[in-house]
């Protein structure tokens, strides 16, 4: 199997020339640099421009390389090296795993790889705050539980402590907290840490929740947030603040309300509010950004209302193990566990840690597009909540169903209905990708919606597909759409098969399955029906059967 050299250096690909024998120190530092980013490959014996020039004679025996690297790194870095022949030139490819935490040379050198503004990679020193930041993103260090150097109990604000107690009542938090005195409350929420001499010192969580604003400016200079309203390229509101978090949430919501108009929907005897942005989703998105941001690096949390979306962004990418592909289903992994736990106990964020569900529900139950995390990078989490017009008929239907069953529609069901409204027809395999679960889970969701009368199933076995039900199309006043999706399907399938045979002279059962997106059984029944009509003639048997145009009398 031929080996291909990557076309250029990237964040995960490094080329090193070995014509003059690369010194061991430089090799070790280059490997450490890759490990402290995303891992990757170091190609030894390749020039920076990608030209293979070969290994130095002393590097031809690669057996001892992994041991030398392990001995000269701390903790030991486990690399794998193999020699490759590129058109007669021998080079080495060294595979480097991503370090869990950080790795240094035994000389105490910490390096990390990054991309420069022009997209080319470079190795730079890892500064102390970057090492702490990396450790917290892996869950190895909880900076929010650490005492803040220079902070004293005088930096905590009695008014903010009272706001915290009121928030427990307002948000339905842990009522046990209301029975505690100040010192016990601080200990229960890790707002202070006990020192060896018995004194108490505010933690980062303590300062962020109940610290004085002046103390936050001085002791936590990375904490800042902004509310911005941009309308048709003009800035209508743009203010930055450094309030403690509970006051920050109140301030952000108060300033957002005038820009969040509501209309009312009559459902039976009840009036249901339909806001531009669901306030539950707003609170959860903003609280998540403030709680899960990286407090090691500078940069503000931005809450920005644009013409077509509310955008909430925070410094620090997704923590290790969380990706856009598992955001809905992965276990909560907060970057700042003590802060996240305190906010959960106060009641500000979801106690289950499943706040993403709440954000999705706040969008999908109004028939709006799903939340969009696709602008997220390694440096920032960016959440867009589209402010498209709500689908009032769909909202009415959801409210009626939830009242009839006395239960909220599961988030997977809302995602399924949204997918069906957009694409008209889905299979369990297609839905599995959207709900980030396996096909069996997607099938259970679709079958439950079928039993509830919201969805109709077409076909059987693997080719089974689903559309919105006739009653649902009727409820939203679009009966023709249902007929297009369901009623015409059998006639369309017959016509599609006959057109295919006229164009290509023949058709097989597998081709019918692909053409009409139906199962083996459905394809067999369709072909038998056309054969019985005399429209097709069969030659051969079973899978190898070929169908051609019939001779009409």
* 354 band by pLDDT with thresholds 50, 70 and 90: low
Q: Is the Cβ–Cβ distance between 477 and 471 less than 8 Å?
A: no
Whether residue 152 is predicted with pLDDT greater than 50 in this model: the reply is yes
Name the residue with higher pLDDT: 316 or 332: 316
Residue 490 confidence (pLDDT): 65
* Domain range summary for the chain, segments of one domain joined by +: 13-126, 143-219, 225-331+348-389, 410-487, 489-549
Whether residue 130 is predicted with pLDDT greater than 80 in this model: the reply is no
Residue 257 confidence (pLDDT): 94
CATH architecture assignment, domain 489-549: Orthogonal Bundle (1.10)
The reply to whether CATH 1.10.510.10 applies to domain 410-487 is no
Residue 283 confidence (pLDDT): 93
CATH code for the part of the protein at 225-331+348-389: 3.30.565.60
Whether residue 278 is predicted with pLDDT greater than 50 in this model: the reply is yes
Whether residue 553 is predicted with pLDDT greater than 70 in this model: the reply is no
CATH architecture assignment, domain 13-126: 2-Layer Sandwich (3.30)
Q: Is the Cβ–Cβ distance between 102 and 126 less than 8 Å?
A: yes
* 455 band by pLDDT with thresholds 50, 70 and 90: confident
Compute the chain's Rg from CA coordinates: 30
Cβ atoms within 10 Å, residue 525: 13
What whole-number distance in Å separates Cα of residue 317 and Cα of residue 379?
5
Residue 346 confidence (pLDDT): 94
Q: What angle, 0 to 180 degrees and rounded to 10, lies between the N-to-C axes of helices 439-451 and 428-435?
A: 110
Task: Tell me whether domains 410-487 and 489-549 share a fold.
Answer: yes
Mean pLDDT, the chain, whole residue set: 86
Cα diameter, the chain: 104
Mean pLDDT, rounded, for 407-421: 89
Residue 153 confidence (pLDDT): 95
Q: Residue 119, preceding bond cis, omega within 30 degrees? A: no
What whole-number distance in Å separates Cα of residue 45 and Cα of residue 39?
19
Secondary structure (H, E, C), 218-272:
HHCCCCCEEEEEEECCEEEEEEEECCCHHHHHHHHHHHHHHHCCEEEEEECCEEE
Q: Quick one: DSSP state of residue 179?
A: G
pTM: 0.69
For the chain, report the end-to-end CA distance as a whole number of angstroms. Answer: 58
Whether residue 481 is predicted with pLDDT greater than 60 in this model: the reply is no
Name the residue with higher pLDDT: 218 or 517: 218
């Amino acid at each position: 199997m031929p080996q291909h050299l990557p076309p250029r250096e990237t964040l995960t690909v490094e080329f090193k020339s070995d014509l003059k024998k690369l010194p061991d120190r430089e090799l070790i530092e280059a490997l450490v640099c890759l490990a402290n980013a995303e891992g990757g490959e170091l190609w030894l014996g390749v020039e920076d421009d990608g030209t293979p020039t070969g290994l130095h004679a002393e590097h031809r025996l690669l057996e001892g390389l992994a041991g030398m690297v392990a001995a000269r790194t701390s903790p030991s870095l486990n690399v794998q090296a193999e020699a490759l022949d590129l058109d007669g030139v021998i080079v080495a490819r060294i595979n480097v795993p991503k370090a869990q935490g950080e790795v240094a040379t035994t000389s105490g050198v910490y390096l990390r790889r990054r991309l420069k503004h022009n997209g080319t990679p470079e190795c730079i020193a890892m500064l102390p705050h970057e090492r702490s930041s990396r450790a917290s993103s892996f869950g190895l260090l909880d900076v929010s539980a650490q005492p803040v150097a220079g902070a004293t109990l005088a930096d905590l604000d009695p008014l903010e402590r009272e706001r915290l107690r009121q928030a427990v009542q307002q948000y339905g938090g842990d009522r046990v907290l209301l029975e505690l005195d100040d010192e016990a409350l601080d200990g229960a929420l890790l707002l202070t840490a006990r020192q060896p001499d018995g004194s108490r010192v505010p933690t980062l969580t303590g300062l962020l929740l109940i610290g004085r604003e002046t103390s936050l400016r001085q002791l936590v200079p990375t904490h800042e947030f902004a509310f911005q309203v941009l309308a048709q390229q003009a800035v209508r509101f743009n203010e930055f603040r450094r309030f403690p978090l509970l006051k920050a949430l109140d301030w952000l919501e108060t300033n957002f309300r005038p820009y969040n108009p509501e209309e009312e929907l009559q459902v039976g005897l009840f009036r249901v509010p339909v806001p531009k942005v669901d306030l539950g989703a707003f609170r959860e998105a903003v609280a998540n950004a403030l709680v899960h941001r990286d407090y090691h690096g500078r940069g503000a949390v931005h809450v920005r209302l644009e013409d077509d979306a509310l955008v909430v962004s925070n410094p620090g990418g997704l923590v290790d193990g969380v990706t856009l592909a598992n955001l809905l289903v992965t276990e909560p992994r907060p970057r700042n566990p003590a802060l996240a736990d305190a906010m959960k106990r106060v009641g500000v964020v979801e106690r289950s840690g499943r706040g993403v569900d709440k954000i999705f529900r706040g969008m999908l139950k109004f028939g709006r597009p799903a939340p969009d995390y696709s602008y997220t990078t390694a440096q920032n989490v960016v959440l867009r909540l589209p402010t498209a017009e709500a689908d009032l008929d769909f909202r009415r239907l959801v409210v009626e169903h939830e009242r009839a069953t006395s239960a909220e529609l599961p988030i997977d069901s809302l995602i399924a209905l949204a997918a069906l409204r957009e694409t008209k027809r889905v299979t369990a395999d297609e839905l599995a990708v959207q709900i980030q679960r396996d096909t069996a889970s997607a099938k259970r969701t679709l079958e439950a919606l079928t039993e509830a009368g919201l969805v109709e199933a077409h076909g059987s076995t693997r080719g089974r597909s689903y559309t919105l039900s006739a009653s649902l199309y009727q409820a939203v006043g679009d009966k023709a759409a249902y007929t297009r999706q369901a009623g015409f399907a059998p006639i369309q399938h017959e016509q599609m098969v006959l057109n295919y045979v006229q164009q290509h002279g023949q058709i097989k059962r597998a081709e019918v399955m692909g053409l009409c997106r139906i199962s083996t059984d459905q394809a067999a029944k369709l072909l038998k029906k056309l054969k019985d009509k005399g429209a097709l003639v069969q030659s051969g048997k079973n899978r190898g059967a070929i169908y051609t145009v019939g001779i009409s009398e």
